[in-house]
């Protein structure tokens, strides 16, 4: 389970049926206490869950077992007392049973299931959304790759993960800003300019040996060509400092534009690209460090400035200004986060590659020195990707400029398949990304499995229209005709969608949506193969059309959250 439980007030939502049952239980317990059937106590959070086993009812609660210790009483007895006291004025329940060590199992009346679909029909593309975030301002910062080369596949997973977290939070009622931090102030930028310089000389016919630390990719030569085309050999006579700065800016600008294009093609759009250079404007970083030094978060050792990160659980203190007077990346990062909070974000989410996990303690130290609570920062780690082709590792070397770019992945496997495949694992675990598998249009590729379910539903709707049916709304149909167990299974799955999103939002776990969409598609495909939606019975057809329409809405909503298209035909 990831971080972030303090993000929400706990039981604010819950999907409709669970909420109803929770209310019944809470009222019953309350009554028991008032009438002396149970001892006085604080009522804990009442959990209602979906039992694995069908014979355990539609829903179950463990509340009696939770109460057992404070009540000093056999949980089965407590369960029985609560059960006996339950009032069910709406007539939700078929029956209630006490089972096992003290579970309370609820069997919901058949006719009630289908009423849950009204919400789906009413809300349509908004079904599943909530107002949990209550408009709180959240920033998600992700990708943030140096503008020294095109995005490669290693960046892709972070890009999708951050993007979908942002989408999920938006759907949960947060006001979300997506941000890309451009590290354009460090030494790597000078090397970028230098790299272009050497290629420029090469194009002008000089023999060069590229220094080992320079970027070697072909894109550098392409930029150099443009430079040569524009300036001819005039740059050779300019002062080197000026030329390097010019080349750096020019290259970084070009590369950044390319990065933006690639991200756009990947369905990832940022609200803000924040330049590290901004932080240094008006001596911003220096001023902040001085302030922190006065507050004793920072101490001086000869020419070096150290931050007391050990005060916040870090292994050792960290340098913020080097002996040579250059601030470290960490120094800029403190200033950057200060800037984030000054812009009014209540919570800031950093999506990092897992190889940066060692920076977590110092970042938390940083924001606490700024006077923020730990809760104001959430760090989501995304594990690295193993790129494969037909099961074999694809060798990559960033230094030599040999890597598979994001653009190439999108071109080869497609945006939908790429995105979906990156979300098929928890961010926390390593991901094998197989290019051949990802572009295969078959049952091996879950993205098509889900999309196919959606396309199939669209097809059913087309057939129905051809045969003179209208796509029914909730009040047009007799939902009591939906009596099959698999129809109830579908309704239950649809019903849990809002809570699923809530869980994903709370834990920053986009993969839950991926798994859910596969599950729902599976239930639907099975239902489809077993039963005819458009059949000889007009009323039954209408009822099933409505059900299937709801499935389609939820599939579409789930795919939309993943940034994956929901095709009408395939």
Partner RNA sequence: GCCCCCGUAGCUCAGUAGGAUAGAGCAACGGAUUCCUAAUCCGUGUGUCGCGUGUUCGAAUCACGCCGGGGGUACCA
Separation of alpha carbons 544 and 490, rounded Å: 11
Stretch that binds RNA, among 132-140, 223-231, 281-289, 311-319 (CB under 7 A): 311-319
205 CB-contact burial (10 Å; exposed 0-12 / middle 13-18 / buried 19+): exposed
Pick 117 or 545: Cβ nearer RNA: 545
The two beta strands, 103-108 and 59-61, are antiparallel
239 CB-contact burial (10 Å; exposed 0-12 / middle 13-18 / buried 19+): exposed
**Stretch (H or E) spanning 414:** none
Q: Nearest Cα to 29, choosing from 16, 18, 38, 20?
A: 38
Interface positions, 67-86, toward RNA (CB under 7 A): 68-69, 75
Pick 71 or 557: Cβ nearer RNA: 71
Kindly tell me which residue out of 175, 188, 310, 339 binds RNA, with binding defined by CB under 7 A: 188
Kindly tell me which residue out of 111, 522, 560, 565 binds RNA, with binding defined by CB under 7 A: 522
Kindly tell me which residue out of 56, 155, 199, 542 binds RNA, with binding defined by CB under 7 A: 56
- The two structure tokens encoding residue 248: 């750096």
Interface positions, 134-163, toward RNA (CB under 7 A): 146
- What is the smallest separation between the CB atom of 191 and RNA, expressed in angstroms? 9
Max Cα distance, the chain (Å): 96
Torsion of CA 157, 158, 159, 160, to 10 degrees: 50
- What is the smallest separation between the CB atom of 238 and RNA, expressed in angstroms? 26
Separation of alpha carbons 65 and 75, rounded Å: 5
Kindly tell me which residue out of 426, 471, 483, 489 binds RNA, with binding defined by CB under 7 A: 426
**Stretch (H or E) spanning 393:** strand 392-393
Kindly tell me which residue out of 203, 273, 512, 560 binds RNA, with binding defined by CB under 7 A: 512
If one asks whether residue 431 binds RNA (CB under 7 A), the answer comes out as yes
- What is the smallest separation between the CB atom of 94 and RNA, expressed in angstroms? 15
Separation of alpha carbons 201 and 404, rounded Å: 27
- What one-character-per-residue DSSP string does 40-95 give? --PPPP--EE--SSGGG-SEEE-HHHHHHHHHTS-HHHHHHHHHHH---TT--EEE
- What is the smallest separation between the CB atom of 496 and RNA, expressed in angstroms? 7
430 vs 157, 166, 446, CA distance in Å? Answer: 11, 22, 18
Separation of alpha carbons 139 and 313, rounded Å: 25
- What is the smallest separation between the CB atom of 351 and RNA, expressed in angstroms? 15
- What is the smallest separation between the CB atom of 176 and RNA, expressed in angstroms? 21
If one asks whether residue 388 binds RNA (CB under 7 A), the answer comes out as no
Separation of alpha carbons 192 and 213, rounded Å: 10
- The two structure tokens encoding residue 311: 């005060």
- What is the smallest separation between the CB atom of 231 and RNA, expressed in angstroms? 27
Interface positions, 463-502, toward RNA (CB under 7 A): 463, 496, 499
If one asks whether residue 411 binds RNA (CB under 7 A), the answer comes out as no
Stretch that binds RNA, among 112-120, 123-131, 134-142, 453-461 (CB under 7 A): 453-461
541-561 core/surface letters (b: 16 or more CB in 10 A; e: else): bbbbbbbbbbbbbbbbbbbbb
Kindly tell me which residue out of 324, 395, 397, 485 binds RNA, with binding defined by CB under 7 A: 324
Stretch that binds RNA, among 110-118, 153-161, 201-209, 428-436 (CB under 7 A): 428-436
Stretch that binds RNA, among 246-254, 335-343, 442-450, 558-566 (CB under 7 A): 442-450
Pick 346 or 432: Cβ nearer RNA: 432
If one asks whether residue 531 binds RNA (CB under 7 A), the answer comes out as yes
**Per-position x/- string for 239-278, each x denoting binding to RNA as judged by CB under 7 A, each - no binding:** ----------------------------------------
Stretch that binds RNA, among 244-252, 353-361, 372-380, 402-410 (CB under 7 A): 353-361
Beta bridge partners of residue 99, listed in sequence order: 103
- What is the smallest separation between the CB atom of 54 and RNA, expressed in angstroms? 9
If one asks whether residue 3 binds RNA (CB under 7 A), the answer comes out as no
Q: Nearest Cα to 252, choosing from 338, 148, 155?
A: 148
If one asks whether residue 238 binds RNA (CB under 7 A), the answer comes out as no
Stretch that binds RNA, among 86-94, 239-247, 323-331, 549-557 (CB under 7 A): 323-331
Size of the site for RNA (CB under 7 A): 96
- What is the smallest separation between the CB atom of 20 and RNA, expressed in angstroms? 16
Residue matched to tokens 């199992």: 105
Beta bridge partners of residue 378, listed in sequence order: 349
If one asks whether residue 55 binds RNA (CB under 7 A), the answer comes out as yes
Q: Nearest Cα to 219, choosing from 154, 153, 148?
A: 148
Pick 252 or 370: Cβ nearer RNA: 252
Separation of alpha carbons 154 and 521, rounded Å: 29
If one asks whether residue 462 binds RNA (CB under 7 A), the answer comes out as yes
If one asks whether residue 458 binds RNA (CB under 7 A), the answer comes out as yes
Stretch that binds RNA, among 192-200, 228-236, 342-350, 458-466 (CB under 7 A): 458-466
Kindly tell me which residue out of 310, 428, 489, 565 binds RNA, with binding defined by CB under 7 A: 428
Separation of alpha carbons 197 and 216, rounded Å: 12
41 CB-contact burial (10 Å; exposed 0-12 / middle 13-18 / buried 19+): exposed
- What is the smallest separation between the CB atom of 49 and RNA, expressed in angstroms? 6
- What is the smallest separation between the CB atom of 70 and RNA, expressed in angstroms? 10
**The sheet that has 318-321: what strands, in order across it?**
298-301, 304-307, 318-321
């Amino acid at each position: 389970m990831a971080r972030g439980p303090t993000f929400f007030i706990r039981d604010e939502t819950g999907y409709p049926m669970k909420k109803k049952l929770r209310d019944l239980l809470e009222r019953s317990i309350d009554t028991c206490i008032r009438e002396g059937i149970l001892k006085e106590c604080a009522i804990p959070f009442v959990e209602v869950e979906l039992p694995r086993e069908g014979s355990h009812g539609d829903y179950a609660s463990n509340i009696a077992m939770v109460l057992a210790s404070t009540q000093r009483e056999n949980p089965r007895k407590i369960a029985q007392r609560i059960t006996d006291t339950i009032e069910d004025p709406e007539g939700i329940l078929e029956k209630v049973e006490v089972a096992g060590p003290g579970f309370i199992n609820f069997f919901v009346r058949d006719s009630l299931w289908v009423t849950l679909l009204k919400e789906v029909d009413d809300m349509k593309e908004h079904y599943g959304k909530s107002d949990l975030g209550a408009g709180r301002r959240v920033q998600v910062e992700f990708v943030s790759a140096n503008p020294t080369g095109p995005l490669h596949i290693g960046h892709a997973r972070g890009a999708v993960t951050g993007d979908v977290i942002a989408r999920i939070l938006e759907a949960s009622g947060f006001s979300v800003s997506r941000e890309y931090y451009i590290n354009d102030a460090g030494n790597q930028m000078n090397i970028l300019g230098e790299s272009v310089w050497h290629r420029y000389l090469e194009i002008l016919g000089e023999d060069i040996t590229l220094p080992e630390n320079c970027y070697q990719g072909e894109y550098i030569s392409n930029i150099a060509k443009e430079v040569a085309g524009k300036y001819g050999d005039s740059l050779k006579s300019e002062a080197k400092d000026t030329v390097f700065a010019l080349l750096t800016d020019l290259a970084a600008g070009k590369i950044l534009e390319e990065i933006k294009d690639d991200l756009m093609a990947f369905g990832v759009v940022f609200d803000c690209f924040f330049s590290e250079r901004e932080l240094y404007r008006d001596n911003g970083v220096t001023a902040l460090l001085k302030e922190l030094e006065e507050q004793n978060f920072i101490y001086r050792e000869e020419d070096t400035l150290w931050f007391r990160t050990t005060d916040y659980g870090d292994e050792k203190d960290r340098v913020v200004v080097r002996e040579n007077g250059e601030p470290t990346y960490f120094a800029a990062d403190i200033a950057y986060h200060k800037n984030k909070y000054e812009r009014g974000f209540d919570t800031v989410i950093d999506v990092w590659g897992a190889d940066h996990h060692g920076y977590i303690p110092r970042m938390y130290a940083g924001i606490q020195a700024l006077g923020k609570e730990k809760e104001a920062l959430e760090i989501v780690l995304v594990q690295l990707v193993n790129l494969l082709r037909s099961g074999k590792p694809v060798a990559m070397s960033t230094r030599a400029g040999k890597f598979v770019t994001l653009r190439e992945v999108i071109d080869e496997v497609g945006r939908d398949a790429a995105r979906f495949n990156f979300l098929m694992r928890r961010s926390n675990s390593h991901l094998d990304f197989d290019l051949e598998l990802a572009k295969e249009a078959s049952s091996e590729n879950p993205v098509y499995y889900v999309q196919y379910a959606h396309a199939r539903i669209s097809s059913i709707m087309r057939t129905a229209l051809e045969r003179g049916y209208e796509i029914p709304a909730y009040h047009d149909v007799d939902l009591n005709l939906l009596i099959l167990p698999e129809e109830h299974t579908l309704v239950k799955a649809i019903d849990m969608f809002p809570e699923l999103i809530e869980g994903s939002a709370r834990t920053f776990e986009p993969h839950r949506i991926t798994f859910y969409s596969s599950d729902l598609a599976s239930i639907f495909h099975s239902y489809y193969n077993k039963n005819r939606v458009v059949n000889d019975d007009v009323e039954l057809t209408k009822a099933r059309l409505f059900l299937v329409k709801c499935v389609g809405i939820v599939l579409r909503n789930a795919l939309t959250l993943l940034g994956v298209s929901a095709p009408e035909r395939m």
